[in-house]
Amino acid sequence: MTDAVWIAIIVAGGALLTTWLNSRALSRSKREDYARQDVVAERAAHAAKLLLEHDEEQTRLAAVNAADVVGRLSQIHTLVNSNMTAAMESELVALKAQLAMMRRFTDGDTSGIGDQATMTELIRRIGELDAQLVDRARATEAGEREHQAPLT
């Protein structure tokens, strides 16, 4: 074989060796890149899981807080409502007593225009309070039934 053939074989072999080495390096680089991508994907999945757990916990806490607020508001409403009902009942008792006293002192004689107007107004207000208290009692009973009914 001549020197030219040997040189051609060496050059071709060198080219093949270079190609093979480049291919190996590229393959190793791809494996390393895939490994890095796997690590990043694993970290992202872990972060997403932590975020989801955090969101679920925040949602649970918000629901607990909302239920607590609703319960407290219900208690406040009940207290205010019962105080208002008690005040209305006291007013009703006082008005009935006032009307009874006026009837006793006038002894059925309502000839005074002022006395008649006052008694008429007392009777109207007594009827109004009676009706309001009946409505409040019905609303309270309905609210208690609704509060005791199971949620569906």
User: Mean pLDDT in each 10-residue stretch from start to end of the chain (152 residues)?
Assistant: 80 82 89 92 94 93 91 85 91 93 76 77 95 90 74 54
* Residue 88 · residue 130 · CB < 8 Å: no
pLDDT at position 15: 83
Concatenating the DSSP letter of every residue in 70-94 gives HHHHHHHHHHHHHHHHHHHHHHHHH
* Residue 102 · residue 119 · CB < 8 Å: yes
- How far apart CA 97 and CA 126 sit, in angstroms, is 11
pLDDT at position 146: 75
pLDDT at position 150: 64
pLDDT at position 152: 52
pLDDT at position 10: 80
